[in-house]
Structure 1
Amino acid sequence: MSQQGERPAAHEDDWWRRLYDETAADTGSTDAADSLDDRFDSASDAVGPSGQGEPGRDDGDGGTGAAVPDPRTPPAPPVQARAPWEPPAEAGRAPWEPPRGAAQPRAFAAPSNPEPPPVDEPPPVPPPGHDRPGIVDGPPPVPVSPPVPVSPPVPAPAEHVPPLPRRPVAERAESPEEPAPGGATGSGAGATPGGPDPVAPGPTSRPGVMYVGDRPPTYDAEPTALPATTPQELDGLVADTVLDGARYGTYTLRAASVRGDSARFRGEPRRDALLTVRFGAADNALVLVAVASGARAAEGAHLAAADACRWIGGAVGRSHARLAEDIRAGRRADLKSGLQRLTDRSYGRLRARAAELGLEPHEYTAGLRCLLLSADPDCRTRVFFGVGGGGLFRLRDGVWRDLEPDVPAPGAVTGEPVVGFGSASPESGPHGDRLTMDLGITTPPSPYIESSPPPPAEPFRFRASVARPGDTLLLCSTGLAEPLRGERALADELAERWTPPEPPGLAAFLADTQLRVKGYADDRTSVGVWEA
């Protein structure tokens, strides 16, 4: 077959027989190349450079004339007409049909706005006459011109972008545009969808009042000097501030003791002592809060106050079961007599300690004020007792009331005189039935009768009252009781802060206790009880 396609009259294999016929005589040498490779190249040129036979030629495959691929060139893979972001088509499924089987999990998040393919690079389309694999009964392909190869764009060198300057924390917190943690903005907007639930706003912040009155106090508000001590006095050191609290039954307890401004300036120890302790468990528990204030001019006043709190605490602890029962039963007479005996014994130990130290009784003493609170939710009886100065107040409906028990004036006589107390014996005197002579003989103490210790210099104070829901009971030392009685602005400020139904936290209660007033620089100890 010639290059023009006509079919020769002779058999097409005659040239091969004439070329390799062994009976034909050799034509002799020639100048043309006649090697096996040359002949193969000649045959290849006759067939064609593409490796395909001419149309209608029978190459031993039944005369179909199908194209034979070149063994040296691998066949190109079939091209599918789909965009890069489309999933590969499944065999036997139309594009509009859902995929078969369970969907596979994705290992990455889908882009929110997928970019379309570039305009100058249309998706590849197979040439005409080739079926698209994996598509059945699909529309016939539209013949288009082959795409012009475009060299991939060369990425531009990355430009260094300096980081944004960070603003201070205070500026970022005040900016309304920046979102706060949890998806809320600085202006108080709610959380974004999918974020945590918005946190309810806390209570209103307390006013930034550091002192009340016309002028600020003389001393600084913070400590400036520490008390001087020796290695032998380390056990008697007293901290500048003590803070405690608890919640039992229907009440919440807050207690704080702070060194005064003058003591902080001069480097003196805190003379006030505070003890908060619980005896027993469950509803039978009894809470004792003791506040003691040492004498101002005494050198060991802070040690005497600590001893008074410790000894009254031990006495109450040994009798807490009986005391808790009397409080729940409302036996006021039994409570008063029993607590007075415990207080007298504690002051008797103070006097004995003063004798050991070689001091006068008034040089080693302290004022003592205590509260007894039952842990039983059904018991709202609050018992106060003590000796010495201080204050007991109640805040109800925003109004303070002074609950300090009345004490008779010195020398006042109440009640009828009895024999041996306030009246003379009928057998005594020059006209009496019995005359005695003082011979100066010391009478030895009786081994069978123990004389009771002398009563303290201050009278015993006792009060038992029933609390109402919403009441606030305040027990304090002289350092806070005096400004409460003498400065109306302090009483109004504390009433405003402590009137809300929720009691203050420990830090807030400490800040309220330290509300300063000019002219009052002593130690402050306060105990607040908020009734639910």
Structure 2
Amino acid sequence: MSPQGDTPTTGEDDWWGKLYDEAAPDTAPTASGDTLDDRFRSASGTVTAGPPPGPGRAPWEPQDPADAPPGTPRTFPGAPPRRLPRPRVEHVGDGPPTYEPEPTALPPARAHQLDALVADTVLDGARYGTYTLRAASVRGDSARYRGEPRRDALLTARFGTGDTALVLVAVATGARGTDGAHLAAAEVCRRIGEAVGRSHQRLAEDIRAGRRGELKSGLHRLTDRSYGRLRARAADLGLEPGAYTAGLRCLLLTADPACRTRVFFGCGDGGLFRLRDGAWQDIEPAVPESAALTGEAVVGYGSPPAETAEGDRLTMDLHITTPPSPYAEEPALPPAEPFRFRASVARPGDTLLLAGPGLAEPLRGEPGLARELAGRWGTGEPPGLAQFLADAQLRVKGYADDRTGVAIWEA
């Protein structure tokens, strides 16, 4: 019986028994010096040998069948023919960036405030319904060099289960030149997460039903309340509101595969982009001068409620009687920046990108970056987490701020 349980032939059984029979005498060298090890090496060489390595190839590299003479058997063991990956660029623009590409100095730490430390890089992802989500936040080259903390904060959260679940992605950027910028960014993400979490069932229902008006007003109130708490925290710390604040941008997506409505809202700088048919579209809701002065809501991207110029449709609110809105639970102070809102329906093949200012600015200002990311992300196949991280931190000379981006691939 062979080790595999099959009954071997008599000749095979005899050979196996002679080779491993403990009672058999050791195989002595023959007159020609041929031993069992010699025979094994000879047989092994016969099986694995291939034609000599081609020009420029090291002896240990696998033979490329294209270089072998006709009729030459494929080398075994050896790697199958490999597809060369698309050449990757490390930076775009007219030259390499000034700073080093990897972290150098760590931010300062205090023994009694270790919870205030933030990691250099945060990476996350998910897949629900018809979309795949990738999110990354990376400390900028300048902050890495100076040993400053990452001012950008990233929150990804799912509330609820099954098709009724609601996914929130929040990106915040702390005010430049303030000591607690990273803390304010993390806090405003946490505040909006708490507010959305408490109202996630109603929000998910409104998104699936296409109640644009209720979504706009409800999310506006949730955002105002989050900023009100941020200002209260600034007062507790003895700081002016402007010294403890952050821009905030969010995406809301349901897990229902039948719902393709994507909702954007927030305040402050950054960008909202869509990659469609190989070209980037800047779909950031514009800020009229009156809104910038009064803090009123900015809606749409200059589009009518039912359908945008790009063909985005959103079901209108049917004015069905509903219970009082649960969004407003307490008085709120509005943020200093105008409120932005956009709701649209995604198409298969779209890639939606929510970007903090450190990614939005070079995407708008450096055509080479827009072309490179369009080439990488326009294939319809979402990248893995590691590849998305590499793409998100593609470097551009003159842009050294934190890089934070959330991309949604639509199947």
CA contact (8 A) 2:191 2:226 kept: yes
Distance in 1, matches of 2:158 and 2:291, equals: 39
CA drift at 1:182: 10
- Higher helix residue share: 2
The counterpart of 1:405, out of the listed 281, 285, 297, is: 285
CA drift at 1:206: 3.6
Aligned counterpart, 2:251:
371
Secondary structure (helix, strand or coil) at the match of 2:154 reads: strand
Confirm whether residue 343 of structure 1 aligns to residue 231 of structure 2: no
CA drift at 1:276: 0.5
**Deviation digits for residues 112-171 of structure 1, max 9, x if unmatched?**
9xxxxxxxxxxxxxxxxxxxxxxxxxxxxxxxxxxxxxxxxx941626899899x9x975
CA contact (8 A) 1:285 1:375 kept: yes
Aligned counterpart, 1:309:
189
The counterpart of 1:392, out of the listed 267, 272, 278, is: 272
CA contact (8 A) 1:213 1:489 kept: yes
Gaps of 5+ in 2: 1-6, 16-28, 46-52, 295-328
Aligned counterpart, 2:343:
464
TM-score normalized with structure 1 length: 0.59
Gaps of 5+ in 1: 1-103, 113-153, 189-200, 415-449
CA contact (8 A) 2:291 2:338 kept: no
Distance in 1, matches of 2:252 and 2:153, equals: 17
Structure with more relative contact order (C-alpha pairs < 8 Å, separation 6 or more)? 2
CA drift at 1:501: 1.6
**Deviation digits for residues 156-203 of structure 1, max 9, x if unmatched?**
1626899899x9x97523444899999564462xxxxxxxxxxxx77x
Aligned counterpart, 1:173:
61
Confirm whether residue 518 of structure 1 aligns to residue 397 of structure 2: yes
Distance in 2, matches of 1:451 and 1:209, equals: 50
Aligned counterpart, 1:289:
169
Secondary structure (helix, strand or coil) at the match of 1:521 reads: coil
Q: Which moved more, 1:234-243 or 1:154-163?
A: 154-163
CA drift at 1:406: 1.5
Confirm whether residue 251 of structure 1 aligns to residue 131 of structure 2: yes
CA drift at 1:299: 0.3
CA contact (8 A) 1:180 1:186 kept: no
Aligned counterpart, 2:356:
477
Superposed CA RMSD in Å reads 3.2
Aligned counterpart, 1:528:
407
The counterpart of 2:12, out of the listed 109, 113, 117, is: 109
Confirm whether residue 158 of structure 1 aligns to residue 33 of structure 2: yes
Distance in 2, matches of 1:218 and 1:108, equals: 73
CA drift at 1:452: 3.5
- Higher strand residue share: 2
Letter in 2 for 1:342: L
Give matches, 1:26-425, under 5 Å.
Answer: 105-106=8-9, 109=12, 155-156=30-31, 158=33, 171-176=59-64, 183=76, 185-186=78-79, 188=81, 205-410=85-290
Distance in 2, matches of 1:229 and 1:314, equals: 28
- Structure-2 change in CA distance of 1:526 and 1:171 (3 Å): farther
CA contact (8 A) 2:227 2:333 kept: no
Distance in 1, matches of 2:205 and 2:392, equals: 33
Letter in 1 for 2:343: A
Distance in 2, matches of 1:364 and 1:288, equals: 23
Distance in 2, matches of 1:184 and 1:463, equals: 56
Q: How many residues align?
A: 339
Secondary structure (helix, strand or coil) at the match of 2:219 reads: helix
Over alpha carbons, which structure has the higher Rg?
1
